[in-house]
Chain A
Amino acid sequence: MNLALPAPDIARAIMRISHEILERNSGSETVTLLGIPTRGAYLAARIAANIATIEGHPVQQGTLDITLHRDDLRMRPPRALMPTVIPPLGVEDRNVVLIDDVLFSGRTIRAALDALGQIGRPRTVQLAVLVDRGHRELPIRADYVGKNLPTSLHQSIKVQFTELDGVDAVVVDDGGAE
């Protein structure tokens, strides 16, 4: 278990992402943040808090559960659905920023794009992740990346947030017994 990103680095990365989102979209008026549960939702809440502080008013923020659109449903036991909360202005004609903790194969994001299409037609869809670990299986890339962490396939990356895990940390696990 290696600590790849300690708490202060995580806070700085999230702050930088918040500024980048504002820069790219010229403010927060047209922006809707959608976190992918579980940890993407916490990350979205933190980015939203930063943006509210910077801009002086709250940004549209919600969650988007992608379970129903996953392509690996058949390979696992059934999953409980997580809440989807679409903020009042919806996604129609908005600049939607999808937010997740780790970008890996890209399949989660593909499912998220499908889930989003079910709800409406955003003007643009952007992607923010705390960690990009590589090994994409689909032509998907992130617009905002907290940290690029080159990994090998048998390693696993865990993002921990205070709300769920008691600490803020990104740890790399080398696969233990192997």
Chain B
Amino acid sequence: MKHLLSINDISQAEAVTILNTAEELAKATDGPIKKLPTLRGRTIVNLFAEDSTRTRISFEAAAKRLSADVINFSAKGSSLSKGESLKDTAQTLQAMGADAVIIRHQACGAAARLADNRWMSGAVINAGDGTHEHPSQALLDAFTIRRHLVHGGDTLDGLHVAIVGDILHSRVARSNVLLLTKLGAQVTLVAPPTLLPVGVEDWPVSITFNFDEIIETVDVVMMLRIQLERMTEMFFPNAREYSRYFGLNADRLRRMKQNSIVMHPGPMNRGLEITADSADSARSVIVEQVTNGVNVRMAILYLLLAGTSQGEGVPA
């Protein structure tokens, strides 16, 4: 593993290694001293062409806990906003000696392009490319599910996860479908037909338009944000109707299975896809997802950067 661009690029064994490494790193940074010397002297660039709070801060915290130096770089206030191309930006970062670039970009495939073109020699980590993928989010979601619902196993065999809402625009949904099914979970997508992507019938998932039909049987309800910034057409008549059919509210929360959990990748539109009391309920692990995000991202950085890139794979 040299880059992390898509969940498609990693095997089940590699995914399990990342989750297990995150588990050990969580323990190692749990004591009075949260910083490890492991990546001392490495430079990591956070290249964020699109807005982000938790992913950027999470990667920054992860890098700093491993003692790497972090350079933050966002579109606003950099030459990206003057129209500098991705290639020139990459070559600048290469010239500055970046060992890894964490990239968030509005264009699908931006991370892959950065990695494939020999523009730079460091590792590339995809932190969200358009509506394509967000692999580190899927890994932290799998980690959170495993911590809550799997006792003593590596994978998510037998668990049933519902992903609810704007599947069409969601890179989180795409990465999660790939990863959760790879780890043995069963995934059901719940969305209005207008918010399902073309070709979804070929995904390894089942699909329903009726949230109430599955609410009582699933182990995990993963709510997705209605991405108002990507809504260029009318996808549903109005917000109230969407909330009534596809939102998580007190009534649906009450009908959920014992021990089942509620997740949301954030940022939430409280009152639209999830009511405030559902978001703050005992079933909600939304804040924990953020904590786990730092551990999982430490694991990704450790596995990509701590060793030499010569020699393949991680001994399990």
Contact = CB atoms under 8 A, between A and B. Distances in A.
B112 to A, nearest CB: 22
B232 interface: no
A50 to B, nearest CB: 28
B197 to A, nearest CB: 35
Contacts of B304: 78
Nearest to A83: B24
Given A118-B31, A119-B31, A74 B308 contact: yes
Interface string A61-83: 00001001100011111111111
Which residue, A79, A80, A81, A119, has most C-beta atoms of chain B within 10 A? A81
Contacts of A148: none
A107 B307 CA distance: 17
B308 A77 contact: yes
**Count class of interface residues, chain B:** 20 to 34
Most buried by B among A74, A75, A77: A77
A4 B20 CA distance: 37
Given A80-B17, A80-B315, A120 B38 contact: no
Contacts of A68: 25, 28, 36-38, 302
Contacts of B38: 68-69, 73
A65 B32 contact: no
B96 interface: no
A118 B307 contact: no
A76 B305 CA distance: 11
A81 B307 contact: no
A120 B17 CA distance: 28
Nearest to B316: A80
Contacts of A120: 31-32
Interface string B221-240: 00000000000000000000
B310 A77 contact: yes
A79 B315 contact: yes
Contacts of A119: 31
Given A65-B24, A69-B38, A118-B28, A78 B33 contact: no
Given A77-B307, A80-B20, A118 B25 contact: no
B28 A84 contact: yes
B94 interface: no
Contacts of B312: 77
Contact of B307 (A65, A69, A79, A117): A79
B314 A78 contact: yes
A26 B281 CA distance: 53
A114 interface: yes
Given A69-B36, A120-B31, A78 B25 contact: no
Interface string B88-124: 0000000000000000000000000000000000000
Contacts of A84: 24, 27-28
Contact of A79 (B20, B28, B314): B314
A77 B33 CA distance: 27
Interface in B257-316: 302-304, 306-308, 310-316
B37 A76 contact: no
A114 B37 contact: yes
B208 interface: no
A10 B266 CA distance: 57
A118 B33 contact: yes
A21 B103 CA distance: 53
Contacts of B315: 79-80
B217 interface: no
Contacts of A118: 28, 31, 33, 36
Contacts of B310: 77
A80 B27 contact: no
A44 to B, nearest CB: 18
Contact of B302 (A75, A77, A78, A82): A78
A77 B315 CA distance: 9
A78 B307 contact: yes
Contacts of A79: 306-307, 314-315
Given A73-B38, A73-B307, A78-B302, 20 more contacts: A65-B24, A68-B36, A68-B302, A69-B36, A69-B37, A69-B38, A74-B308, A77-B308, A77-B310, A78-B304, A81-B20, A81-B21, A81-B28, A82-B24, A84-B24, A84-B28, A114-B37, A118-B31, A119-B31, A120-B32
Nearest 4 CB-CB pairings of A with B:
A78-B307, A77-B311, A81-B24, A77-B307
14 contacts: A68-B37, A69-B37, A74-B306, A74-B308, A76-B308, A76-B311, A78-B304, A78-B306, A81-B20, A81-B21, A82-B24, A84-B28, A117-B33, A118-B36
